[in-house]
Structure 1
């Protein structure tokens, strides 16, 4: 549970700082127009801060961490989000600097980050399903284990 709390907090801090960086960097370069830097802020706050806070609530309610899939979700999700955000920053900085021919590797790597995020979401739902409907005919109802007949 602490990992989720501190990760969410870290994404909140980095998300706010990325907004500050976008504003100051584009102002310092006298850049006007769209850049990927403008959406890093919202991606980190939404996908990092808010989503992990929701997962923290699910952890508190259903002890998701007892599923062996939860650790896979956590690390895959963080890797995907960090990779995606990093490539958005790189691409955005190149846009601000006026680069017109950006290597296809940059959006390709960002795409890999998005794939990791998608895989992580599937893992989250599988972990949640395991905790709700259980393997071994157990499930969690309101934090208490209930043995199912059947």
Structure 2
């Protein structure tokens, strides 16, 4: 359970840092348009901090961490969320600084972000499969 609390806490801190970075970086560069940086803040709060608080509460009732694939789920999900957050920052910084990217690099960033989202989706599926088995075990 301590691991889940720590993950939630770390993502909460990263979310706050990314929010401050978004606000200050855009202000410092006199940028007033929309940027991908704003997505970093919400993704880290919702998919990081809040998600792991929910996992913690569910784990308390159904002992998810006892499932053989629980640690694999943590690795897959966290990898996806970190990759996704990094690509949002990467794209957002280039947007704010008005850096012209080649179409190949733009596609690469989108592809990497897509891979991050795919890992998050796989992690969510793993989570629900683990939850399903854990609930069945408790009900048996």
Tell me the TM-score normalized by structure 2.
0.94
Q: Which residue of 2 aligns with 1:144?
A: none
Larger Rg computed on CA atoms: 1
Q: Which residue of 1 aligns with 2:89?
A: 89
Structure 1: runs of 5 or more not aligned: 134-138, 142-147
Q: Which residue of 2 aligns with 1:20?
A: 20
Q: Which residue of 2 aligns with 1:140?
A: 138
**Structure with more of its chain in strand, by fraction:** 1
Query: 4+ residue runs of structure 1 moved beyond 4 angstroms?
Result: none
Give a deviation string over 1:48-102, Cα, whole Å, max 9, x none: 0001100000110100011111111111110000000000000000000102435
Q: Which has the higher contact order (CA 8 A, sep 6+)?
A: 2
- Cα distance in 2 for partners of 1:18, 1:4 equals 21
Tell me the TM-score normalized by structure 1.
0.88
- Cα RMSD, aligned residues only: 1.0
- Cα distance in 2 for partners of 1:88, 1:44 equals 11
Q: Which residue of 2 aligns with 1:72?
A: 72
Q: Which residue of 1 aligns with 2:53?
A: 53
Give a deviation string over 1:5-46, Cα, whole Å, max 9, x none: 000000001101100000110011111100001121111000
Deviation at 1:107, TM superposition (A): 1.0
- Cα distance in 2 for partners of 1:32, 1:98 equals 12
Q: Which residue of 2 aligns with 1:8?
A: 8
What is the aligned length? 137
